[in-house]
Structure 1
């Protein structure tokens, strides 16, 4: 595990442990006070706080495993473990919301349990709102710092607890005015809040699992940054996907077809560096250098292949004789043909270059005479 990954895992663990301690204390207090005051909403909220301990453990384990270094079996790393943990977290929350919703509906039709309201119920509910909001802000700060969707999801989980506690407080106030049904309504509101955040978590996680691309406006911004690099003619076939708050991208870069391989690659390196400088969440960039525009070509590549150098030279040698071995032959694969540049200091006539076989793939033939100082 790299120093950065180890640090990220440690920060996520520390933040989550602090939240877990708060969840445990609040859960026990809510359940105890809820039984004494006979508040269904407060007991339900207490159970929810205790259930947060399970999700906190999930976040801690996911933080450790997802930050492991790539290996032979996982060359792209283990970030999807964080995505999977988010999916599990959303599923658990949705199940909890369903249970509270079901119990609250029963409460509407059977308000037979006598409710005794005390000052302790109000105090614990207010304490829950304040502490959960504090944990939300604390966790959100580090989630933004680490660009962690799982930690951000846990932060919103805490915010949801704070809002649901407000609903419980409303229910307790209703009981003080003999509106017993308002307690059950408050529990229903708790269920709705939990279900909403659960569905959001599930949707976001599933979008990552099916490799959903970045929004079009972000792709347009990335393309604009790339096109600012000198020597780049065009950018196309931009494909993006996200993994636990990180973005992986591959793209095609069109350069002058006559530049050297190393120059084209260097242009690509500049494009990658420029994109990373502007978009820190993009951590993996794979670029393909194109000598011409193939934006309309399918990702599977051309339907027919042109011959490689050995076959080309054998064909040209049969037509041109010793010239092929004495000169420097440069091949350019353009417009579906093979253009040939012959670099030689010897005089060459048109008759010599006239191909007898006239291969169907042969394109333009150009003779270049090096000047003094050329290598």
Structure 2
């Protein structure tokens, strides 16, 4: 009964998180389109770069929806380890698109510098629209932050932080475009476009740094930490050949070989369950594969060797 109530509460919370992310996705897409249209009509490179930065917010909300939907993924026959890596593949595709766009904007900015700056087709009406965009982003960041605290959801808090970074880039662009409109300083547009392109490339690098280790099955937890946790369980005599992969805090797969102080299978099974429980309490969601071995198989090394005779 208690377990059913807990699962129901978890499901309700996930539904609320999904609702917030849907609102964020709708607002981010609308702001992206507005910036993109104004940027194309006015010819402002800085505004186009800012639109691409806003695109990362929209993609962040979309990936948040996917992550929320897969927060309790169930393996199937064709995907026995779950479906989590689809998120990483999508993130890399998005990063590639943003990086190519940033490079193209940077190339155009350099061309404008060498060929001579042309006046922008920009007036006070476009600036007013950008002020509305800025206000919407401020409201969205506050909404996501308050809901993230209320629901105690790290995904919403992270998305709110991403939206806040977009606010600052929009402020910079808005100040620069005010200089273009009121003081006829066209060079400000190109001057802002180049650092914004560098910012987009930095965002792409962060996406790569976050997702590539996951896709290539890089170690998730130091084997020494797993060894220390497992050896703290009564009845565990030796732990060796340790491997781990996945994302810490989301889902980690752990494999280890273990020697236990047990003469019968039921007792050995109880010890392995205690080890799994200790690992999950320390590292979050884990899926363990534990190979029980006789005492003469004990090894002094604790790192994963990958070879067995």
TM-score range, shorter chain: 0.7 to 0.9
1:206 to 186, 206, 212: 212
> Following the alignment from structure 1 to structure 2, what is the Cα–Cα distance between the partners of residues 235 and 262?
19
Long gaps (5+) in structure 2: 1-6
1:283 to 272, 283, 286: 286
The equivalent of 1:45 in structure 2 is 50
Name the structure with the higher strand share.
Answer: 1
Name the structure with the higher helix share.
Answer: 2
The equivalent of 1:104 in structure 2 is 109
- TM-score in terms of structure 2 length: 0.75
1:77, CA displacement in angstroms? 1.3
> Following the alignment from structure 2 to structure 1, what is the Cα–Cα distance between the partners of residues 221 and 175?
40
> Following the alignment from structure 2 to structure 1, what is the Cα–Cα distance between the partners of residues 259 and 143?
46
Query: Are the equivalent residues in 2 in contact too, given 1:226–1:274 (CA < 8 A)?
Result: yes
Does 41-50 or 286-295 show the bigger shift? 41-50
Query: Are the equivalent residues in 2 in contact too, given 1:129–1:163 (CA < 8 A)?
Result: no
Does 238-247 or 206-215 show the bigger shift? 238-247
Aligned residue-pair number: 295
Which gives a bigger RCO, structure 1 or 2 (Cα 8 Å, sep 6+)? Answer: 2
> Following the alignment from structure 1 to structure 2, what is the Cα–Cα distance between the partners of residues 138 and 76?
35
Long gaps (5+) in structure 1: 304-375
Query: Are the equivalent residues in 2 in contact too, given 1:227–1:234 (CA < 8 A)?
Result: yes
Relative to 1, partners in 2 of residues 1:93 and 1:36: Cα closer, same or farther, differing over 3 Å? closer
Relative to 1, partners in 2 of residues 1:270 and 1:61: Cα closer, same or farther, differing over 3 Å? closer
Relative to 1, partners in 2 of residues 1:81 and 1:214: Cα closer, same or farther, differing over 3 Å? same
> Following the alignment from structure 2 to structure 1, what is the Cα–Cα distance between the partners of residues 42 and 226?
58
Query: Are the equivalent residues in 2 in contact too, given 1:41–1:183 (CA < 8 A)?
Result: yes
What whole-Å deviation, never above 9, does each CA across 1:155-208 have from its counterpart, x for those lacking one? 665344323213313422442444321211212222122211112112221110
Q: Give 1 or 2 for the bigger CA radius of gyration.
A: 1
Q: Does 1:271 align with 2:272?
A: no
Q: Does 1:300 align with 2:303?
A: no
The equivalent of 2:172 in structure 1 is 167
- TM-score in terms of structure 1 length: 0.64
Query: Are the equivalent residues in 2 in contact too, given 1:90–1:201 (CA < 8 A)?
Result: yes
Taking only aligned residues, the RMSD between alpha carbons, in angstroms, comes to: 3.8
Query: Are the equivalent residues in 1 in contact too, given 2:102–2:197 (CA < 8 A)?
Result: yes
Relative to 1, partners in 2 of residues 1:81 and 1:98: Cα closer, same or farther, differing over 3 Å? same
